[in-house]
Amino acid sequence: MKITINNREYDMPENISILEAVKKANIKIPTLCYMEGKEPYGGCRLCVVEVEGSKTLVPSCAVKISEGMKIKTHSEKVRKVRKTIMQLIVASHGISCELNCLTCPKATSCELKTIAEEIG
Ligand code: SF4
């Protein structure tokens, strides 16, 4: 199946999600709730991407690729929305902990901290 990711064409197997296709293309999309082999939950929404023809951003873990699909993984719109989503996640995370990464014992292995830093 032919799809386009960030203006480059790829041949992908059928019946895989956009997120799986993007991974096969060696492009990294942030996710917090995706677990390989498990039914996608689509809860964190960090993996949203732009799909040509779609009015809204789509959660890449929960949507399968289709022939001719054109995907943008890091457009300005996507990065802006991801940053807002991450701000909301961090804000609600702060309710349940001190949110002080400098003193937190989990800081060296915290996925939330790592992705938040990557997103900026
Ligand atoms: S390292 Fe992770 S768990 Fe610890 S305060 Fe920072 S975001 Fe929270």
Residue range 2-119, CATH number? 3.10.20.740
Q: Ligand 1, atom 3: nearest CA belongs to which residue?
A: 106
Element (H, E) at 92: helix 76-96
Closest atom of ligand 1 to 94 CA is: 8
- Tens digit of each residue's pLDDT (9 = 90 or more) over 77-100: 999 999 999 999 988 876 666 678
Residue type, 119: I
Task: Name the phi and psi angles at 98, rounded to 5.
Answer: -70, -15
pLDDT at residue 92, rounded to an integer? 84
Ligand 1 centroid, distance to 108 Cα (angstroms):
9
Report the SS3 class of residue 54.
coil
Which residues form the pocket of ligand 1, taking CB atoms under 6 Å from any ligand atom?
93, 97, 99-101, 104, 106-107, 110, 112-113
Q: Which sign does the torsion angle of CA 110, 111, 115, 118 carry?
A: positive
110, 115, 117, best to mutate for ligand 1 pocket (most atoms within 8 Å of CB): 110
Rg (CA), the chain: 15
> Is the pLDDT confidence value at 64 over 90?
yes
- Tens digit of each residue's pLDDT (9 = 90 or more) over 9-57: 999 999 999 999 999 999 999 999 999 888 888 889 999 999 999 999 9
Domain boundaries, the chain: 2-119
Q: CA end-to-end span of the chain, whole Å?
A: 34
